[in-house]
Amino acid sequence: MNTHLTECAKTATKLLVRTAVPLALAGVLGAGVALADDRGAVKLLATVPVPGLTVFDISWVDPQSQLYYLADRSNKTVDVIDAKRNVLVKQISGNFKGFTGNNDTSGPDGVVTSGHWLFVTDAPSRVVAIDLRTDLIASEVNTGGADGLRADELAFDPEGGVILAVNNADDPPFATLINVNQNTGQLSLGARITFQNFGPNGDTATNGAEQPVWDRGTGRFYISIPEVNGTAADGAVAVINPQTAMVEATFPVKFCQPAGLTLGPNQDLLIGCSVIFDTAGAPCTAPTATTPLNCHGNAANAKQVIMDARNGSIDRDVFGVGGSDEVWFNSGDGRYYTASRANPTGPVLGVIDAKRQVLDQIVPTFSTPLTLPAPRGTSHSVAVNSRNNHAFVPMPGGNAFGPDCLKGCVAVFGTPNDDD
């Protein structure tokens, strides 16, 4: 979901296939190995077939309705799964762009719900409000990006009735505040925040802008900025005041390339690091169809970062899982979940204890091998139903998780002793 790369090119540069890692690291990261945790190990529980699913983007679970929503570019729909019964119940058509062969011009992209409203981003620079009582579009706006480029991820402030929608593929990237009439669904454009010479330090985003999140505790939006000022090791989380449309602070994040972002307990943010750096602080060279991950003779140092949203201090670097896109905090079991498509051991679902701030487990997922023809999909999306602690990870067709997944599916993970 970075700004300068097409889906195929990005896959080629960031998708990590299973490869040799140092034996000590492999012992820690062994696929499916659970660390000490009295809640039990997360396992594959079910698969929900979604025929034709290959290329997709962000997902969301509404805890009230227990419905899971997925931005499905392959089918040009938002797929809706009953997150209690694990059944595909419908596919919402919103005149979405679909997959064009270029991630930057495709859609749908981001999804979020509030009450009976579904907000979806799309290409070109499109944000729509869908009434879930009718599955019809109530309103739409255009954020004014460059020709053909998409609006990508978004977050919603239900108290102020404001969306923050991100145009990640524009150069420089920008975000737009969009006012929502929560009675009618009417959308109206507000201020634009451009990530060039932004914030107190005058930083410039040089590799797009990623997942935003709303924090009721601070009344602010936060957004992952993978890279600032042209230095791969330097990323940031930007703090946006929706009242003033200003970036009030820029919190630095090193050796990470922040992508996913989610709000956990105690005003903590989990930052999903999208790029693997080595122990010397250099980005590893991503694999191709014929060459493995290259960390320049050093060990891979995959990590996620936990940050205090109030002041930007780093609580902890959680080592052992990385290469993540969307991340999610599940209040039901007190765990963070990471869609780590580019982990050194291969694509995994990362499970992190939010209280102890340690990695509990990694569970194998699936990304289309680089040796297969495009379009290739990656397991970069995750959302969790807090009512039964089931984690939903969409997977592209052709994977080995069962006959339901040969043409695309959403895999459901959880602990067998969780209540359904």
pLDDT for res 101: 96
The model's pTM? 0.91
d(CA 339, CA 358): 16
Tens of pLDDT, residue by residue over 214-234, are 999 999 999 999 999 999 999
Q: What is the mean pLDDT of residues 257-269?
A: 98
Determine what percent of the chain is predicted with pLDDT higher than 70: 90
pLDDT above 50 (res 189): yes
Average pLDDT, whole number, for the chain?
91
The CATH architecture assigned to 7-414 reads: 7 Propeller (2.130)
Q: CB within 8 A of 356, min separation 6: which ones?
A: none
Q: What is the mean pLDDT of residues 84-105?
A: 97
**Where is pLDDT greater, at 157 or 4?**
157
d(CA 400, CA 126): 35
Tens of pLDDT, residue by residue over 25-82, are 333 333 444 444 567 899 999 999 999 999 999 999 999 999 999 999 999 999 999 9
Tens of pLDDT, residue by residue over 111-139, are 999 999 999 999 999 999 999 999 999 99
d(CA 322, CA 276): 6
Whether the ω angle into residue 375 lies within 30 degrees of 0, i.e. cis, is: yes
Structure tokens that stand for 170 in this block: 């524009």
Element (H, E) at 339: strand 335-340
Structure tokens that stand for 46 in this block: 């079910």
Structure tokens that stand for 419 in this block: 């209540």
Laid out side by side, the sheet with 348-353 consists of: 327-330, 335-340, 348-353, 358-364
Q: List C-alpha distances in Å: 233 to 73, 180, 230, 254, 280.
A: 31, 37, 9, 5, 11
Dihedral, 197, 103, 350, 81 alpha carbons, nearest 10: 120
pLDDT above 80 (res 17): no
pLDDT for res 24: 32
pLDDT above 90 (res 418): no
Neighbours of 36 (CB within 10 A): 8
Q: What is the mean pLDDT of residues 185-201?
A: 98
Structure tokens that stand for 304 in this block: 């996620």
Which burial class, exposed, middle or buried, applies to 169 when counting CB atoms under 10 A from its CB (0-12, 13-18, 19+)?
A: buried
